[in-house]
Amino acid sequence: MIPPVTPQRKYSPAAAAMAEAMTAQSNQNDPLDGLLSEARTRIRNQMQPAQIEDPTDEDLRTAEAILSPLVDQFFRNAQAQGVAFASESDQVLRQLMDDIFGFGPLASYLADEKVEEIICNGKDDIWIIHGDQGKVKISTRFRSERELQNFVNRVVYKTSARLDKSNPAIDGRMRDGSRLHAIMEPLTAKPPIAINIRRHRLVARTLEDLTRLGTVTPIAAEFLRLAVQARLNIAVAGGTASGKTNFTNALGNAASESDRILIVEDTTELQINKPDIVQMCTRDQAESVKAVTISDLIIHALRMRPDRIITGEARGQEIVDVLMAANTGHDGQLLTIHANSTRDVIQRMESMYLLRGNDVPLLAVRRQIADAFQLVIYLKRVFIANKPRRFVTEIAEIQPSQFMEGDKVVVQNIFEDKGTGLNWTGYFPERLARRMEENATPLRPNFFREARA
C-alpha cells in the first residue's frame, strides 16, 4: 500500500506565482512551465534515480500520489485568481506524468501503431510519417528547445551518453524499441536541435500477410516459403524504410516449429513466434562496461546450438562473421542489408568485409559471398497518392563460386518487376532445386509454369 504523501508546502509557490502571472497577463510562456518545474523537483526529492529512469507500475502510482496534491493546489490557486483552464486536473496530471516519465508531447503519436516516423525540426516544427496519411505536419509542440533536449536525454534507453553541447549528437533507442537520432548546436545551424524517431511497425507477421498487403505475389511467397523450409540462406535487401524487417519477420515465421532460432539485432524489432527462440541485442559502451557488437553476438549465437541465425541488419564488418557462419554449415540464415538492387548486395557485402581490415584478396571475398547465400530479395518503397507502399521488385539466385564468371559473382533473377508487377522471368533455378531436394523440400520443375497458367 502506498503511504499518503504530505505536500512539502501548504501552497505551491510555483503554482501561486503562475496563477498571479496569468491574471496580470504578463507571462508569455506556457502557464504550466512553473508547475512542471515544481513537479520535477518533488519527484527528484522523493524518488530514487532508478525509479525515475525505468519506473515500474508501482513507481508510477507513487509518482501520481506525489503529484496529485500539487496539481489540485495549482487549480485551487488558479480558481482563486479567477483563471480558468480548458484542461481538467486529471489531464494536467497525465501531462506531467508523460513529461517526467513518458514521451511528453509525442506520447499519443508514439502510441499510434500507424506512425512510422517522427521528425522534430526544433521545438515547434514537428512532422509524422503516417502509414495511411503519408507525411503530415502536426500542431504538437515542445515548450522550448531545452525541453526537447531534456526529452531526448530522458527517453534514450540505458546509455550513459547525454545530448549537450559537449556531446551534440546521439544515436540510440527508446524503451519501446524505436530508434532515435538527435543533433544540436554547434553541429546544427538551424534549427538549434533536430531529432528523428524511427519506429518499427510490424504490419506483417507471415508471408500470407505480405501477400494480402500486395508486397509480394502469391506464387513468389510460396516459392520463398519453400526456400525457408529448405534452409536456404537468404538476404533481404532494400533502402531505408523499404520493409526489410517486416519481410524478414515473415520469413522467420515460415521456419519449422522445431528450429532453434537465434536472433541478433541492434534493437529488438523482430517478433518471430516460435517455441525455441533466443533474441539478443547489442549494447553501447558505457563508463564501466564495454560495447557488445553484432559480431560479438554472432559468436555467442554459434555457441548456442542454433538451427538458424537471423541477423537483424548487417551494416559493417560483422558481415565477416555472418559469412563465416554461413560457410561452416550454419544454413537457414536470414539477413537484412541496405542495397540498391539484388546485384548491389554483392558489392555491399564486399565493402563491409573490407572494413574489417583483413588482408584477403577480393576474389576470395567474392567466393565466400557466393557460397554463403543462395537467395536475395529486393524491396522498394514507393509513394502512391502520398502514401508509402512497399513492394518486392526482385528475387534472385546467387550462384555458387564454381559458377562465377571470371571474378564476378553470378546473380540471376527468378522474379522481377519491370513495371507490370512481380513476374517470373522464365528462369528455373536448377541448382537451387537440387539443394532444396536434398533438404526434403522439392521444387517441382513446372512449379512456376503451373502458377503462371
* pLDDT tens-digit series, residues 203-253: 778 999 999 999 999 999 999 999 999 999 999 999 988 889 999 999 999
Q: Kindly state whether residues 309 and 353 are assigned to the same domain.
A: yes
Query: What is the reported pLDDT for 31?
Result: 62
Q: Kindly state whether residues 292 and 334 are assigned to the same domain.
A: yes
Confidence of residue 133 (pLDDT cuts 50, 70, 90): confident
Give residue 17's domain range: 13-101
Query: What is the reported pLDDT for 20?
Result: 43
Given a cut of 80, whether residue 263 has pLDDT beyond it is yes
Q: What angle do CA 427, 431, 434 make, to 5 degrees?
A: 120
CA separation, residue 47 to residues 3, 57, 69, 92, 100 (Å): 13, 14, 16, 20, 12
Rounded Cα distance, 416 and 111, in Å: 37
φ/ψ of 262, rounded to 5, equals -110, 120
pTM to 2 decimal places: 0.76
Q: Which amino acid makes up residue 258? A: S
Average pLDDT, the chain: 85
What contacts 17, CB < 8 A, 6 or more positions away?
34
Question: Is 156 or 28 the better-scoring residue by pLDDT?
Answer: 156
Q: Kindly state whether residues 181 and 282 are assigned to the same domain.
A: no
Question: Hey, how many other C-beta atoms are within 10 angstroms of the C-beta on 166?
Answer: 6
Given a cut of 60, whether residue 39 has pLDDT beyond it is yes
Ranges 40-54, 183-197, 237-251: which has the least confidence: 40-54
What are 352-360's contacts with CB under 8 Å, separation 24+?
352/314, 352/315, 352/316, 352/317, 352/318, 352/319, 353/317, 353/319, 353/320, 353/323, 355/316, 355/317, 356/317, 356/320, 357/317, 358/320
The answer to whether residues 208 and 221 touch, using CB atoms and an 8 Å cutoff, is: yes
Does any domain span residue 338?
yes
Question: Is 150 or 6 the better-scoring residue by pLDDT?
Answer: 150
Question: Is 30 or 103 the better-scoring residue by pLDDT?
Answer: 103
Reported in sequence order, the residue ranges of 199-268 that DSSP labels E, i.e. its strands, are 234-238, 261-265
Query: What is the reported pLDDT for 143?
Result: 82
The residue from 34, 67, 101 where one domain ends is 101
How buried is 58 (Cβ within 10 angstroms: 0-12 exposed, 13-18 middle, 19+ buried)? exposed
Q: Kindly state whether residues 50 and 142 are assigned to the same domain.
A: no
Query: What is the reported pLDDT for 86?
Result: 63
Q: Tell me, what CATH number does 338's domain have?
A: 3.40.50.300
Q: Spell out the alpha helix ranges (H) of 4-88.
A: 13-24, 33-46, 49-53, 57-80
pLDDT tens digit string along 353-400?
998 877 889 999 999 999 999 999 999 988 887 777 899 999 999 999
Does any domain span residue 106?
no
Q: Kindly state whether residues 165 and 219 are assigned to the same domain.
A: no
Domain count of the chain?
A: 3
Reported in sequence order, the residue ranges of 199-265 that DSSP labels E, i.e. its strands, are 234-238, 261-265
The residue from 101, 128, 153 where one domain ends is 101
Q: Kindly state whether residues 361 and 431 are assigned to the same domain.
A: yes
Q: Kindly state whether residues 325 and 355 are assigned to the same domain.
A: yes
Confidence of residue 286 (pLDDT cuts 50, 70, 90): low
Confidence of residue 184 (pLDDT cuts 50, 70, 90): very high
Question: Is 286 or 121 the better-scoring residue by pLDDT?
Answer: 121
Confidence of residue 416 (pLDDT cuts 50, 70, 90): very high
Does any domain span residue 423?
yes
Given a cut of 90, whether residue 289 has pLDDT beyond it is no
Q: Kindly state whether residues 194 and 320 are assigned to the same domain.
A: no
Does any domain span residue 2?
no
The residue from 101, 132, 163 where one domain ends is 101
Does any domain span residue 8?
no
Rounded Cα distance, 414 and 85, in Å: 64
Q: Kindly state whether residues 255 and 332 are assigned to the same domain.
A: yes
Q: Which cell is 43 given? A: 519527484
Q: Kindly state whether residues 27 and 157 are assigned to the same domain.
A: no
Q: Kindly state whether residues 232 and 343 are assigned to the same domain.
A: yes
How buried is 420 (Cβ within 10 angstroms: 0-12 exposed, 13-18 middle, 19+ buried)? exposed
pLDDT tens digit string along 144-159?
898 899 889 888 875 6
Given a cut of 90, whether residue 87 has pLDDT beyond it is no
The answer to whether residues 303 and 321 touch, using CB atoms and an 8 Å cutoff, is: no
Sheet holding 308-314, edge to edge: 277-281, 261-265, 308-314, 334-338, 234-238, 375-384, 387-398, 411-417, 422-424
Does any domain span residue 5?
no
DSSP 418-438: SSS-EEE-S---HHHHHHHHH
What contacts 189, CB < 8 A, 6 or more positions away?
none
Does any domain span residue 331?
yes
Q: Kindly state whether residues 31 and 53 are assigned to the same domain.
A: yes
Does any domain span residue 1?
no
Given a cut of 70, whether residue 18 has pLDDT beyond it is no
Ranges 72-76, 98-102, 241-245, 297-301: which has the least confidence: 98-102
| Most confident of the ranges 20-24, 129-133, 170-174, 416-420 | 416-420
H or E segment and range at residue 398: strand 387-398
**In the predicted model, what is the mean pLDDT of residues 310-334?**
92
Question: Is 445 or 1 the better-scoring residue by pLDDT?
Answer: 445
